[in-house]
Structure 1
Amino acid sequence: MSDPTRTSQSTRHATDPAGAAARTPAAAVAPMSRHPLAAAFRLLITAAALTGLVLAATGTTGPAQLLTRFTVQANIAAALVFACSAHRAWTGHHPVSPRIAGALVPFLSLPALLHYVLPAADSTAFTLPTTASGAAQAVSHQLLYTLMPLAVLADWLLLTTPRGFRLSYAWQWPAYPLLYLAFALAFPAATGAPSPTVTTALTLALALCALPLITIGTDQVRPAPRLHNNRISPTGIGPLK
């Protein structure tokens, strides 16, 4: 009679193709699935972010000073992440980590919230500098304050599976914005914006902590999107068909 233990050991150390296939994880041999529509949508998001940044730079007398603004930094990060996500969706590789891609939701929602809901905080370093009105400035504001947050929300809600965000992201995502807020309070001249008042700073800190919690909570209860052919987040393993 054969020994089951010995059989499993020999299978584990087998060097023939059958033994190698038995030891290879299923995820390593799964066929890559390309998502061209998701890739095209993310390329459009990248183009919108870059266009808004260029127009914002042309509408100010100090383009280099814009790099110190949180809105500009968040949109540069969005352009890089979505360009990488578009490439991965087109080639069928694994999507960008939810820890990185998901952080864009609160990062881009905060400037829009300050611009449209909290006018008192619209002059802080978290938003674009207030300059003379012009066509380029108006278009850049629409792209960076309106289109980009809505596009990121649409990408998250329509092209990713729910329950991909972890609770640990609730303290990881606000880390940089809170450090930026502390920097803006300590060195307002370096950001090119007036130092926020105590009330404004507390409001910003509260928003920075609340937005990740709202995003993670919404991700836990939202329904799964129906765009199965273009959804890029990994799904669970189902039965064989």
Structure 2
Amino acid sequence: MSDPTRTSQSTRHATGPAGAAARTPAAAVAPPGRHPLAAAFRLLITAAALAGLVLAALGTAGPAQLLTRFTVQANIAAALVSACSAHRAWTGRRPVSPRIAGALVPFLSLPALLHYAVPAADTTAFTLPGATTPGVAHALSAQLLYSLTPLAALADWLLLTTPRGFRLSYAWQWPAYPLLYLAFTLALPTLTGAPSPSGTSALTLGLAGCALPLITIGIDQVRPAPRLHNNRISPMGISPLK
């Protein structure tokens, strides 16, 4: 990989204004790659996750107990990472590491998959506790945490990030926490406030926790690059326009 702060051998001995321009690193003259639309979209993800968490707390008798649920932990992580990503997109700084930002997709997809596709596992600590008095707040929190936030994180990954940024090592790093959390719920179910998952549910959770990262990494390797617009009007090399 070339170093943008170094100049080529052909331009090192150039003199005059042209030589000074040639020896100037591209990073010093190029404007920062700000992406205000991406920043606004990621702020919406943060707002959706926080709104869902607040509504879930309002509809639960023990709001502090929500912190032990995997869905809540995943959405807290989504709110923090999306807010940081929004700030970096707005200021033109380097994006958040794909190791961290990419983990949101399988982390948010796992409880959503259990909620909609595996009803038998919907009473485990991976999902939200049932509301004491089901109402509008509980229904809205479920829609935000199980539907809107995961779909928004998926859209952010597919439409606003470059492909082939995930490494194969993430396939065993991302499932580490869901599997540890599953072991914790099996060993100490009273601390999570949810019944211990059955053998079938535990197997389903383990397989889903391992399969979702593999699917995410596989899609990332073959998906097309999004049409991201930047602020540059010419390539980073030396040209007559510079």
| TM over 0.5, shorter chain | yes
What residue in structure 2 maps to residue 150 of structure 1? 151
CA shift, 1:39, in A, is: 0.5
Q: 1:28 to 1:71 in 2, by over 3 A?
A: farther
2:123 aligns to what SS in structure 1? coil
Q: 1:173 to 1:240 in 2, by over 3 A?
A: farther
Q: Which amino acid aligns with 1:105?
A: V
1:96 aligns to what SS in structure 2? coil
What residue in structure 2 maps to residue 104 of structure 1? 104
CA shift, 1:40, in A, is: 0.5
Q: 1:229 to 1:29 in 2, by over 3 A?
A: closer
Q: Which amino acid aligns with 2:219?
A: T
CA shift, 1:26, in A, is: 5.1
Q: How does 1:206-221 map onto structure 2 within 5 Å?
A: 206-221=207-222
Deviations 1:115-174 (A, max 9, x none): 000000000000000223210000000000000110000000000011010000000001
Q: 1:203 to 1:32 in 2, by over 3 A?
A: same
Deviations 1:34-92 (A, max 9, x none): 11111011111100000000000000000000000000000000000000000000111
Q: Distance in 1 between matches of 2:100 and 2:217?
A: 13
TM-score, normalization by structure 1: 0.85
TM-score, normalization by structure 2: 0.84
2:134 aligns to what SS in structure 1? coil
Q: How does 1:68-217 map onto structure 2 within 5 Å?
A: 68-131=68-131, 132-217=133-218
1:205 aligns to what SS in structure 2? helix
CA shift, 1:29, in A, is: 6.3
Q: 1:29 to 1:207 in 2, by over 3 A?
A: farther
Q: Distance in 1 between matches of 2:28 and 2:96?
A: 17
2:211 aligns to what SS in structure 1? helix
Q: Which amino acid aligns with 1:124?
A: T
Q: Which amino acid aligns with 1:94?
A: R
Q: Which runs of 5+ in 2 are unaligned?
A: 1-8, 13-18
Q: Which runs of 5+ in 1 are unaligned?
A: 1-7, 12-17, 231-236
Q: How does 1:56-75 map onto structure 2 within 5 Å?
A: 56-75=56-75
Q: Which amino acid aligns with 2:142?
A: H
Q: How many matched pairs?
A: 218
Q: Which amino acid aligns with 1:77?
A: A
Q: 1:170 to 1:30 in 2, by over 3 A?
A: farther
Deviations 1:194-229 (A, max 9, x none): 000111111100000000000000000111112334
CA shift, 1:178, in A, is: 0.7
What residue in structure 2 maps to residue 15 of structure 1? none
Q: Distance in 2 between matches of 1:103 and 1:221?
A: 18
**8 Å contact kept, 2:45–2:152:** yes
Q: Distance in 1 between matches of 2:96 and 2:109?
A: 20
Q: 1:221 to 1:239 in 2, by over 3 A?
A: farther
Q: Which amino acid aligns with 1:203?
A: T
Q: Following superposition, which runs of at least 4 residues in structure 1 exceed 4 angstroms of deviation?
A: 24-30, 237-241
Q: 1:202 to 1:42 in 2, by over 3 A?
A: same
Deviations 1:174-206 (A, max 9, x none): 111111000000000000000001111111000
**8 Å contact kept, 2:26–2:236:** no
Q: Distance in 2 between matches of 1:28 and 1:214?
A: 39
Q: Distance in 2 between matches of 1:52 and 1:144?
A: 6
